[in-house]
Amino acid sequence: MMRIYVDADACPVKDEIYRVAQRHGWPVSVVAGNFIRIPNDPMIERIAAGSGMDAADDWIAERAKTGDIVITSDVPLASRCVKSGAEVIAPNGKPFSEETIGLTLAVRNLMTDLRSTGEITGGPRGFSPRDRSAFLGALDQTIRRITRSQQQTP
């Protein structure tokens, strides 16, 4: 069964995920370090993975596979999930793929190193309505593509 995994601790598009998943009949696993509120819907499950370092990331990475979708802005988690064959989308609609994840991970690591030396003090830009719209389009398109692919497989 295809599934959407949500790295939920800082995800700004949870409500959008619930609506799109419901429209397409996809189950959703909302994974967080601790308790997180979710709608009362049998297709949405809450996973409290624990407060350990990367507990939610590890839970998702161990389960995500080809045909699943992972929603995360965490680049190392995205890398792990792309390698397992899952489709990965950031909350701003940016897809992570085998072709792009290596460079994305390298830039992330470089920026982390620069910040640790005090070279860069600014963070990422704020989340905008354009990001929300791009995400909705990317999620809907990805679900449709996976569904078509699954229907064509004998």
Domain count, the chain: 1
Task: Please tell me the predicted confidence (pLDDT) of residue 117.
Answer: 80
In DSSP terms, which residues pair with 6 in a beta bridge? 30, 71
DSSP states along 118-148: TS----PPPP-HHHHHHHHHHHHHHHHHHHH
**Residue 31: strand pairing partners:** 7, 47
CATH number at residue 92: 3.40.50
Question: In this predicted structure, what is the pLDDT of residue 122?
Answer: 66
Q: What is the pLDDT of residue 125?
A: 74
Q: What is the pLDDT of residue 154?
A: 65
Domain that holds residue 17: 4-152
Residues 6+ apart with CB under 8 A from 39: 18
Q: Which residues of the chain have pLDDT under 70?
A: 102-103, 106, 108-111, 120-124, 153-154
Residue 108 has a pLDDT of 67
CA–CA gap between residue 140 and residue 72 (Å, rounded): 16
Identify the pLDDT of residue 55.
93
